[in-house]
Amino acid sequence: MRRFSWYAFLTDEVAGMAYDRLGEDTGAEGVKLPYHQQVLKLGSDEELTLFGYCRASCKTFAFYLVTLITLGIPFLIVYWKPEWGVYMKRRRCSLMEADMLIIKDMDGQIYVSSVDSEMVEAGFPSKYVISSHLPNGASNGVHNGASDSTHLTQPRHRIIRYFIFQHIKYMWIPGKLSFERLYGCDSNTTISSLLNDFRGYTVEEQMLRQQLYGRNGISVEVKSYFHLLVTEVLNPFYIFQIASIVLWSFDNYVLYATCIFLVSCLSVAVSLYETRKQSQSLHDMVEASNANTATVLRSTIEKTTVEVEINTTDLVPGDVLVIPGTGCLMACDAVLISGNAIVNESMLTGESVPVTKTPVTISEGNETYSAEKHKRHTLFCGTAVIQTRYYGNAQVLAVVVRTGFTTAKGELVRSILYPRPLDFKFYKDSMKFILFMFGIASVGMSYSIYIYIIHKETILKTVVRTLDIVTIVVPPALPAAMTVGTYYAQSRLKKRGIFCISPPRINVSGKLKLVCFDKTGTLTEDGLEVWGVVEAKGEHLSTPVMDVSTLDHTSQLVACLATCHSLTYVHGELTGDPLDVKMFEATKWTLEEAAPGSANFDQVTPTVVKPSKREVYIDPPDITNVAETPFQVPYELGIVRQFPFSSNTQRMSVLVRVLGRPYMDLYAKGAPEVIQSLCRPESLPEDLGPILTQYTIQGFRVIALAHRTLETKLSWHAAQRIPRDQVECDLNFVGLLILQNMLKPETAPVIRQLRAANIRTVMVTGDNILTGISVARDCGMVGETDHVLLAKVTAPSPEHPASLTFEPADTPDILVQYSDDVDNKYTCMNVEDGAPKYHLAVTGKAWALLCQYFPDLVPRIVAKGTVFARMSPDQKAQLVEELQAIDYIVGMCGDGANDCGALKTAHVGISLSEAEASVAAPFTSHTDNIQCVPQVICEGRCALTTNFSVFKYMALYSIIQFVSVLILYTAYSNLTDPQFLYIDLFIVTVIAVFMGYTGARHELVAHKPLGNLLGAVNMFSVLSQIALVILTQVIAYLYLLQQPWFEPNKPTPGDEEDNTVSWETGTIFYVSAFQYLTLCIAYSPGHPFRQPIYTNFWLTVSLVSLTVITLMMLLCPWSWLMELMRIRYDPENNLMMFRVALLLMIALHFVVSLSTEHFIARSRFLKKCFQWITCKREPKNKYKIVLRDMNEDLSWPPIGTPLYATLHT
C-alpha cells in the first residue's frame, strides 16, 4: 500500500471543474462549513464530522524534539489522546489534500484515522478513480515548472483514496470532492436490476471488486498478551500507580511500595487474563458461524456461466451464490432471486422456528432493494439454510448484497466492539468529584509546602512530601472501586440465567421509570390455540364453529386455513410459524412435499395439502375431447407460490391450484383492517364490525381470511413473477379465524409489582388494538376501574386538515360536559381527584400520522399511552425514543426480531432469548417470562447504591488519610511503613472488595435510589462525615498534647528522615484505623435496596477480624506487636487511661457517624429541606411537566371533538 500527496492529483482532476467552494464547503441545509471539514449522513445514527490534516514538517520536528527532551512525556499524552498528536504534528488542510482525519461522531467522541491510497487497474468503477501522471504524488505541469510534455510522455496512474472507521470503508468521490460510505448492492439497487443484471462476474471483475470492498470476513482480533500488557501498563491508572511507587520509594517507604507493586502486578495479570478471555470468547462466537467455501456463478469468455467453488472470503457484492439443496451457513447477506430456502434465523431474531425465504419480486416500477423491507427474501450472514426448494431443474440462486462488517451479523459484532457511550449522570459526576478531590489535594499541597518551608526542610523532601499528598487524596484504586457493585450484580444475574454484555447498563436499570413490553411471547404464551372460526354467509357472519374439521372440506374458508401458511417438513417434523402450525393442525389435513427426504419439488408436484380422514373427490371442470364417462379427481390443493408475511404489510397470501382446475386461486390472511381494505365492499358482511369488536375486546386474536379466483391465462411460470399487488386486490371476504392467547402465569404478578414500585408499564404490540387493551386489563396495566381512550387520527384531505379524535374504548360514562357559554362547549375526561384514571391507546397508523401532523401533542400521547398496537419494528424504536425525549429512563422487554430495534434503542433492553441475537440487547434472559425484569431492576438498584457507597467510602478514605498526614506533617512526623500497609492493604482494600458483595433485596419499593453523586443529599453525607473525621482526629491530637507524660516529636537537625515512631503517629493511627471501619458500616446501607450488612459473610468476618486486631493494638500494647507496627509505647506504663479515652472517642465517633448517616442523610426530611432551601418548585423531568400541564388543562383530553392540525396539508 502506498500513500500519496493528494493535492497534486486532484489539481489535475478538478482543473476544468467549476469549483465554488473557495475556502468553504456547503453542508446540509446550506450551512457553511470550514474548508477542512465535512459532515457525513447528517442527522442519522451514523453521523460523522471529518476534519482534514496533512503533515507539517516543522511541527513534527518540534514535537519529536520536545519528546526527546522530556523523556517521552508528549508521546504518552498523544497515546492517551491521539487527536492531540494530530494537532501537534500536522496542519489543517482540505479533505482532498488530507492524509489524516480527526473524526467526531454524533455522541461527541473523537477518533483519528489515516487516509490510505491504492493504485487500481482499468475496469475499476470510475466513480472512485483519480488519475494523475506521476505515481509519487508530486505536482506536475505549471505547479512544479516541469515541461508540458509530461502530459504526453508520462502514463496516467489510476488511484483511489479511502479511510476505514470501525471496520466500515469510506471512499473519496472525486466528482463530489467528499468522502462517502461504501455500500454494496443494498443501496440504490433496483429489484429489476437484481433479477436481470446479475449473472455472475468474470474472474477479473471479481478481483477488481474485491480490491474495492476488501475480503469478506468478520473477525475479532485476539491480541497477544504482550500487546495487552503494553496497553494495560500505559493506562493512566497504572502510570499514576508507577509514579506513586517511585515516589514512595524516594520517601523510604520501600516495604509499602514493594507490596503495592506486587498487588498491581497481580491486578495487571488478572486484567490481562479477563480481557483476553472476553476477546477470545467473542472471537470464538463469531468464528463458530463462519463458513469456509461457497459456490458461485462465474461468467466465461464464451458468455456462459459455470459453477465455481471459492473461499467465502473472496465473495463480493454482486456475486451470484448457488445455495445447495442440503443447506449451508451463510457467509454474507444475499437476496434470493430464484427458488425458496428454509432458514434458521435464531442468531438474528432469537426465534428458533425456521423461516421460509422466497425470491424477491417487483411490486412497483423502480422499487429499490432494502434489507429491512425485503428481509423475507434475504438470507442473512450467520444464519443457517436448512434446505432449499426449487422448481424443475432451476437452481436456488441469491445475489450477494453485503459482505464483512456491513452485513447484519457484522453490525451485531460492531455493536459489541464499539458500543455507544452511556449518557449516565453517575459517571459524569464521578469525574467531577475526582476533580474536586484534586482541588482538595492542591490545598493540602500548599499547606505541606508551607509547613516544610517553616521547618526549613530540604527542597527534595518538600517536593516528595508535597507530591505524596496527591497519591493520598486521589487514590489510584478509585476508578476500579466504582465498578465493584456492578461486577457482583452481574455475577448474581448470571446465576439466575440473566446475561449482561454491557455492565454499565446495570446501574442504569436501577433508575428505570418505565418498561415497555411486547405482547405475544412476552406477556402471553408463545403458542396460540385455535378457539374457532366464523364463516361469512352472505350478508352476515355465521355462528362460531369450534371444530374446524367439521366444516365442508371444499369450502373456501377451510381451503384458506389449509394453504395460507409457510409450513414445511424439516427432518420429518412440520415446522413454521406457531400460528400457522396451530391453524393447519385445526383442519386435520395432510401436507405432502415432493418425496420424503427429498429437497426439491418440480412444477408438476408442488407442496400439496389434502383432507387426511378420507379421500374427497370432486367433479373435474368441463374439458373437451374426453370420454363421455363421468369421472372424479382427488381433492388436492397445490401451493404454487407464497407471498410471505411481513410486519409492514400485516398479511400473507398464497397462489393455489386445485388438482384438475385450469385456473388458480389466491388465499390471503392477515390483520382484519388490512384484509377488509383489500376486499370488495359487497363481500363484507354487515355485522363484521360489531362481531370483530366483540372478539377483540375479549382478548382474542382475530385473523381475517379472504379468497380470489384468478384468471385462467395465468400460467405457472407467470405466477412466479407476478407482483403480489396485482393479485392481492378485489378479494372476497371468507371469514374470521379466532385464536386464544393466554397470559403467562408470571405476567400479572410482575406487572403488579412494577406498578406498586411506581414503574410505569406500556404494551407495544403488533396485534389488534382491542386485543391489546383486553390483555392490558387482564395483566393489570390498566386498572379495573380505569378507562381507555382510542386516539384516532384522520389523514388530511383537500377539504380538511388532519384531525385527532379521542373515543372511549369501553363505556361512555366517563364523559363529563363542561360549558362556558352556548358557543363554547367541549367534552373532556373527568380528571378530578377520585375520578378513575384514563389511558390512551394508539395504533401504528395513528402513530405515524400523529408524528407527522401533531408533533407537539406526541409528548402528551406517550405520557398517557399504555397500549400501542399494530406497531412496526421501526415504530417501536421510535416510541422508545419519544419516551426518552421526555426524560423517561426506558426499559424494553421482548422476545423476537420485531423488538430488536427497540431493545437496542432503550436504556435497558432485555431479550427473552437464548440466541446469539441477544448481543443486540444489553441483557439476555434464558427464562421465557418477564420475571427477569424486576430481578434486573433490583440488582440495578443494589449496584447503584453499592457503587455510590464504595465511591463515598473511597473518598472518605482519602480524606481520613489526608487529614492524618497533614496533622503529622505539623508534628514533624508521618505514618510508618507498616501502618500505611495495614491501612491501605488490609483495611481499605479488603473492605472495598467485600462491600459490594452484599446482595440485593428482592422486593421493589416505590422510591428509587439516588442517581446524582453531586446532589445535595450525597454531598451532605460526604461533608458531614468529613467534618466528623476531622473533628475526631483533631480532638484526639489535642487531647494527646494535654497529657503530662507527652513528649513532642523533635526531628534531628539535618536528618532527611522524620521520626515516625512517635506518640503523635500512634494516636492518629489508632483513631484513623477505627474511622475506616466505622465508615464502612455507615456506608453499607441495607433496606430498601440491599440486604442487611450481616448477610454479607465475608464483609462481616473482615470487619470483626480487623476490629479485634486494631483493638488489640490499642488496648494490648505487646512489645512484639508495637515493634512490628512501629508504634511508640512505654514498656513500663501502658497508659491504659489514655487508651480507654481514645476508645471512648472512637465509640462516640461511631455512634454519631451512624446516626448522622441513617437518621439524617437518608431521611426524606433532609431532601425536602434542600428542596425548600433551593426553592425547587418546578419538576426537573419533562414527563412530569407534561403530566402537570395535562392535569391543569381542563379541556384535555377532548372526547368526540376533533383537534385539527395547524397546517392544512
Q: What is the 3-state secondary structure of 34-71? A: ECCEEEECCCCCCCEEEEEEEECHHHHHHHHHHHHHCC
What's the confidence (pLDDT) of residue 574? 83
Q: Identify the pLDDT of residue 144.
A: 39
Residues whose CB falls within 8 Å of the CB of residue 244, separated by 6 or more in sequence, listed in order: 260, 471, 476
Question: Distance between CA atoms of 204 and 122, rounded to whole angstroms?
Answer: 10
What does the DSSP 8-state code read for residue 129? Answer: -
Average pLDDT over residues 1131-1155: 91
Give CA separation, 451 vs 448, 462, 1054, 1101, in Å. 5, 9, 16, 41
Range list of β-strands (E), 315-354: 320-322, 328-329, 333-338, 340-344
3-state class (DSSP) for residue 1030: helix
Comparing 143-147, 187-191, 557-561, 1042-1046, which segment has the lowest mean pLDDT?
143-147
The helix (H) or strand (E) run that includes residue 171 is strand 168-173
Alpha-carbon torsion, ordered 315, 316, 322, 323, to 10 deg:
70
Give the pLDDT confidence of 492-531 residue by residue, as tens digits.
998 888 888 778 888 889 989 999 998 877 888 876 788 8
Give residue-wise pLDDT tens across range 35-74. Answer: 778 888 877 778 899 999 999 999 999 999 998 988 888 8
- Cβ burial of 1119 (10 Å; 0-12, 13-18, 19+) is exposed
- The pLDDT value given to residue 288: 67
Q: Is the pLDDT of residue 685 over 80?
A: yes
Partners of residue 801 on adjacent β-strands: none
* Catalytic residue status for 518: yes
- The pair phi, psi for residue 847, each rounded to 5°, is -60, -45
Contact 884, 488 (CB under 8 A): no
Distance, in Å, from the CA atom of 501 to the CA atom of 285, rounded to the nearest integer, reads 13
Q: Does residue 1157 have a pLDDT over 60?
A: yes
Spatial CA neighbour of 965 closest among 476, 479, 477, 464: 464
Which range is most confident: 896-910, 927-941, 964-978?
927-941
Query: Which residue, among 1017, 912, 1036, 910, has the nearest Cα to 964 in the 3D structure?
Result: 1036
Tell me: pLDDT of 1209 over 60: no
962: nearest Cα among 448, 255, 430, 243: 448
Residue 1183 pLDDT > 50: yes
Please report the pLDDT score of residue 423 as a whole number.
Answer: 64
Q: Which long-range contacts (CB under 8 A, 24 or more apart) does 804-812 make?
A: 804/850, 804/854, 804/857, 804/1202, 804/1203, 804/1204, 804/1205, 805/1200, 805/1201, 805/1202, 805/1203, 806/840, 806/1197, 806/1198, 806/1199, 806/1200, 807/1199, 807/1200, 808/1199, 809/697, 809/770, 809/773, 809/841, 811/787
- Which residues neighbour 348 within 8 Å (Cβ) at sequence distance 6 or greater? 380, 382, 383, 408, 409, 412, 897, 900, 915, 916, 917
Distance CA 959, CA 444 (A): 11
State in Å, rounded, how far the first CA of the chain is from the last one: 56
121: exposed, middle or buried (C-beta count within 10 Å: 0-12, 13-18, 19+)?
A: exposed
Spatial CB neighbours of 95, under 8 Å, sequence gap ≥ 6? 36, 38, 50, 52, 101, 172, 177, 178, 179
| Phi, psi (deg, nearest 5) at residue 112 | -125, 135
Average pLDDT of the segment spanning 767-771: 80
Percent of the chain scoring above 90 in pLDDT:
23
pLDDT bucket at 412, cuts 50 / 70 / 90: confident
Q: How confident is the model at residue 603 (pLDDT cuts 50, 70, 90)?
A: very low
Lowest-pLDDT range of 96-100, 185-189, 653-657, 826-830 = 826-830
Greater confidence (969 vs 761) lies with 761
397-402 and 701-709 strand pairing: unpaired
Per-residue model confidence as pLDDT tens digits over 279-304: 887 777 777 666 688 899 998 887 78
Q: How far apart are CA 297 and CA 202, in angstroms?
A: 9
Residue 848: which of 904, 812, 794 has the closest Cα? Answer: 794
Instruction: Place 916 in a pLDDT band, splitting at 50, 70 and 90.
Output: very low
| Cα–Cα dist 195/165, whole Å | 32
pLDDT of 1143 > 70? The answer is yes
Residue bearing the bigger pLDDT, 670 or 273: 670
Q: What are the residues facing 1203 on neighbouring strands?
A: 804
Q: Which residues does residue 1166 pair with via DSSP β-bridges, in sequence order? A: none
Task: Note the pLDDT of residue 667.
Answer: 94
**Phi and psi angles of residue 413, each rounded to the nearest 5 degrees, phi first:** -65, -40
Confidence band, pLDDT 50/70/90 cuts, at residue 481: low
In three-state secondary structure terms, 581 is: helix
Residue 402 banded pLDDT, cuts 50, 70, 90? very high
Instruction: Return the higher-pLDDT residue of 895 and 22.
Output: 895
In this predicted structure, what is the pLDDT of residue 626?
43
| CA distances, 735 to each of 549, 578, 706 (Å) | 15, 21, 7
| Average confidence (pLDDT) over 323-348 | 84
Cis bond upstream, residue 922 (ω within 30): no
| Confidence at 835, pLDDT banded by 50, 70, 90 | low
Average pLDDT on 263-277 reads 80
Position of cell 403480489? 724
Output the pLDDT for position 17: 36
pLDDT for position 604: 38
pLDDT band at 462 (very low <50, low <70, confident <90, very high): confident
The predicted-structure confidence for 218-264, as pLDDT tens digits, reads as follows 888 888 888 888 887 887 778 888 888 888 887 777 877 888 788 77
The H or E element that residue 772 is part of is helix 769-779
Q: Which residue has the cell 478481483?
A: 207
List, for residues 1017-1069, the tens digit of each pLDDT value. 888 888 899 999 999 999 999 999 999 988 888 765 555 566 788 899 999 99
Q: How far apart are CA 809 and CA 373, in angstroms?
A: 33
Nearest residue to 296 via CA among 160, 406, 397: 397
Q: Is the pTM of this model over 0.85?
A: no
Q: What is the pLDDT of residue 468?
A: 81
419 vs 530, which has greater pLDDT? 530
Choice among 25, 518, 577, 1058 that is catalytic = 518
Q: Between the CA of residue 483 and those of 427, 1021, 1103, what are the distances in Å? A: 11, 21, 21
Average pLDDT across the chain, whole number: 81
Contacts of 606 (CB under 8 A, 6+ apart): 638, 639, 640
